[in-house]
Structure 1
C-alpha cells in the first residue's frame, strides 16, 4: 500500500489526556525518549492497540488529518531507524515536529473501551471514523 493516508492516529492512555485538548499534550515516555511522536494508520491501529496497550481499559484515539502534518512525518520502522515507503508493512508514520501534538494538530478524538478480552475495534471501524 503506497497511497497517502487521509488520516493518521495517535493512541493516548487516559493518564496523558486532557480534554478539551490543550495546545500541547504531554508526551508519553516512549515519544519523549525517541524524540518523535509514534503514530499509526487506520490499518495499523488494531495491532498497535493489542501490542502496546493490552493492559489499558480505555484509550483515546486522536485523529490527525495527514495533509496538515505531512511535512513533519517520516515513515520509519517502529524504532525510527529504517525509513520505508508510505503504508509498507512494518513502516509507521512518526511525527518529527518537536513534540507538538494538541489542539492544532488533532482533528477529532474518539474514546475506545475494551470489549471483554480485546479492544472493540469494530465499534470505530463500523462508524466510518477510522479511515485510511
Structure 2
C-alpha cells in the first residue's frame, strides 16, 4: 500500500458543533464509537465510499474532515488495523484502516479542511465524484 496524502474522518451532520464554520475548535466532540474504541476511526479516500455506505446510510449530509497524513505519521499517531469485519461483514479489498491514537483529540490542529457530502437519490457517488473533480478527495 502506498502512503496516502490524506486520511478522512466522517462526521454526522447532527454533530453538536457546526463543522462548516470558518474556524474549527481546538477539540471537536468525538463519536461514541470512537470514545468506546479509544481511538478515532479514519478512512482513506478508497475506503470512504463504503464507510459512508455502511455507517452513514441514514445521515444526509455528512461532514468529511481531511487530515494531512505526513504529520500524523511523523508523530506516530496513526496505526493501521484490520477492521475484523465485525460490524458489517467482509469488506473485500479495503485492507487495513487508519486509526488515530492521540487521546481522542481532533480539531483545527489536525484537520486542514472540511467538505459537506450529500446523498443524491440515496447514493454517495455523485458527491464523491465532485469531491474528486475538485481535487479535494485525493486518491
Q: Which residues of 2 match residues 1-132 of structure 1 at below 5 A?
A: 2-16=1-15, 17-18=17-18, 19=21, 20-70=23-73, 71-78=76-83, 89-119=94-124, 120-132=127-139
User: What is the CA RMSD across the aligned residues, in angstroms?
Assistant: 1.4
Match of 2:89 in 1: none
Pairwise CA distance, 1:64:
0.3
Pairwise CA distance, 1:99:
0.4
**SS at structure 2 position matched to 1:121:** helix
**SS at structure 2 position matched to 1:98:** coil
The question of whether the paired residues in 1 share the 8 Å contact of 2:61 and 2:118 is answered with: yes
The question of whether the paired residues in 1 share the 8 Å contact of 2:9 and 2:41 is answered with: yes
Pairwise CA distance, 1:89:
3.2
- Residues 25-54 of structure 1 deviation map (CA, whole Å, 9 limit, x = unaligned): 000010000000000001100111011100
TM-score between both structures, scaled by the size of structure 2: 0.83
Higher strand share: 1
Query: 5+ unaligned residues in a row in structure 1: which ranges?
Result: 80-87
TM-score between both structures, scaled by the size of structure 1: 0.87
Pairwise CA distance, 1:57:
1.0
Pairwise CA distance, 1:123:
1.6
Q: Distance in 1 between matches of 2:3 and 2:80?
A: 11
Bigger CA drift: 7-16 or 117-126?
117-126
Q: Which runs of 4+ in 1 moved over 6 A?
A: none
